[in-house]
Amino acid sequence: MADYDYDLFVIGGGSGGVRAARVAAGEAGAKVALAEEDRYGGTCVIRGCVPKKLMVFASEFSDVAEVGNAYGWNMTSGTFDWQNFRSHLNNELDRLEGVYRSLLKNSGVDTFDARAKLKDKHTVELSDGQTKTAKTILVATGGRPVRPDMPNAHLGIVSDDIFHLETLPKSILIIGGGYIACEFACILHGLGVEVTQYYRGAQILRGFDDEARGLIAEAMRDRGIDLHTGTNIVQMGLASDDHTESGPTGSDAAMGASVQQENVMANDGTADEASAGRGGPIWVKATNGRERVFDMVLFATGRDPNTDDMGLEDLGIEIGRRGEIVVDEYSKTAADSVYAIGDVTNRVNLTPVAIREGMAFVETAFKDNPTAVDHDLIPSAIFTQPEMGTVGLSEEDARDREEIEVFCTSFRPMKTAFAGKPDRVLMKLVVSKETRKVLGCHIVAPDAGEMIQLAGVAIKMGATKEDFDRTVAVHPTMSEEIVTMRTPMRTA
């Protein structure tokens, strides 16, 4: 039997990689090492879920005085202090990174603050010049936000940059219609930024339930977000530059621009990202011909897996169209000794899923208990204002599969209706006509994420509509509507 430095070497110190490392070491008794080139905690803890949710909380205080006055409190609106908030935020992220480091240390995991790549199927080469061998290697390098391939794209920022801004802009254009774009549109609007959002599709939040995403789009516009669907950016540059003669646009390359023009665009789009958002006001031209100037542009147009320059393809490991590592149901790659979990595999890109995949990997590789992760019926939340919580099939997906009944209601919730606000919420169940099982649940409401976690338990267990009906309502709450809807609104 070959001798290795470690039983397991994990590349990536995000939530999935850290969980796999410490469980393999602490529960399976494996000798484990982990390498991380940036901060421990990964996207979720350092530049994703956690700081974003704290910004959501901060943004929700903007209308406290308005609502409080309706309830009899003599309140005046204050101003948001970004520097004060950012200081507290950085302290919290430092604390959480320390927790992650301590978890690894207390589990007996050796850590290397360095970039790692695969030299062969059992050898990892570190950026500090060291090489380490391991019987098994786990790649958990996550993903990264990407900019579009267009001239001057470097002038815009991406989601990672939001948390490092020295000051908030007075105005911002957000490009994209996914959950990251919509969440930051709501966050920044709540913090006092004038927000405009362009999305090239017909409706934001593609892939989610149509009725739910329609309500969110309506709410965003009602709150003052200047949301434009069917609209994209075609040119951008510094407002101080002369834009009377336009060169090739981002769409020219796809429509036959010359090779020379394409090379110019590629060079412009890969300029120093350190200058992102710092060049002054940005001039933008949209597909509808309108030209505007914004203090900042945020690209929320997608994320790619972190697989560049890792030596994967040299080992015969298959890489997918988006750059993802292709794995089987047990997270194993084409190389028997190499596994991959989390966003780098581009399966279900959610932190709790990466953690589940990490635990399943340990069961498979170190506990002789082959375990595949169940990626079906995963609850999720979108932290817009109002939030969306969802689990299971949308109405559109469900009706393509079988005959369904749709139970839904939309109403003004008690708290904000009393204050005279127009806010509306949605409660929706998609039910199989044949089995009576609840195929999907979609909630648009304040704290929808908290509600959908509990609804997800029932739906994962295979609850029927009649099971929901037999549950006594908690009154007065918004969520009681989930168990009091008796008549379907429509069938399909």
Q: What is the pLDDT of residue 271?
A: 41
Here the tokens at position 283 are 């001039």
State yes or no: pLDDT of 473 exceeds 80. Answer: yes
> Using N-to-C axis directions, what is the helix angle for 49-59 and 179-190, rounded to 10°?
40
- pLDDT tens sequence across 284-340: 999 999 999 999 999 999 999 999 999 999 999 999 999 999 999 999 999 999 999
275 pLDDT band, cuts 50/70/90, is low
User: How do residues 362-394 score in pLDDT, each as one tens digit?
Assistant: 999 999 999 999 999 999 999 999 999 999 999
The residues that bridge with 118 in the sheet, in sequence order, are 124
Q: Is 194 helix (H, G, I), strand (E, B) or coil?
A: strand
Q: Tell me the per-residue pLDDT of 137-189, one tens digit each, with 9 for 90 and over.
A: 999 999 999 999 999 999 999 999 999 999 999 999 999 999 999 999 999 99
> Which helix H or strand E contains 279, and what residues bound it?
none
- CB contact set of 371 (below 8 Å; sequence gap of 6+): 330, 360, 363, 364
Residues involved in catalysis = 475
Using pLDDT thresholds of 50, 70 and 90, give the confidence band for residue 277.
low
DSSP H or E segment with residue 168: none
Q: What confidence score (pLDDT) does residue 246 get?
A: 53
- Say whether 484 sits in a helix, a strand or coil: coil
Percentage of the chain lying above the pLDDT 90 cut: 91
Question: Locate tokens 């969980």: which residue?
Answer: 19
pLDDT tens-place string over residues 204-259: 999 999 999 999 999 999 999 999 999 999 999 999 998 875 554 443 333 333 33
Average pLDDT, the chain: 93
Whether residue 7 is predicted with pLDDT greater than 80 in this model: the reply is yes
Gap between the Cα atoms of 371 and 18, Å rounded? 19
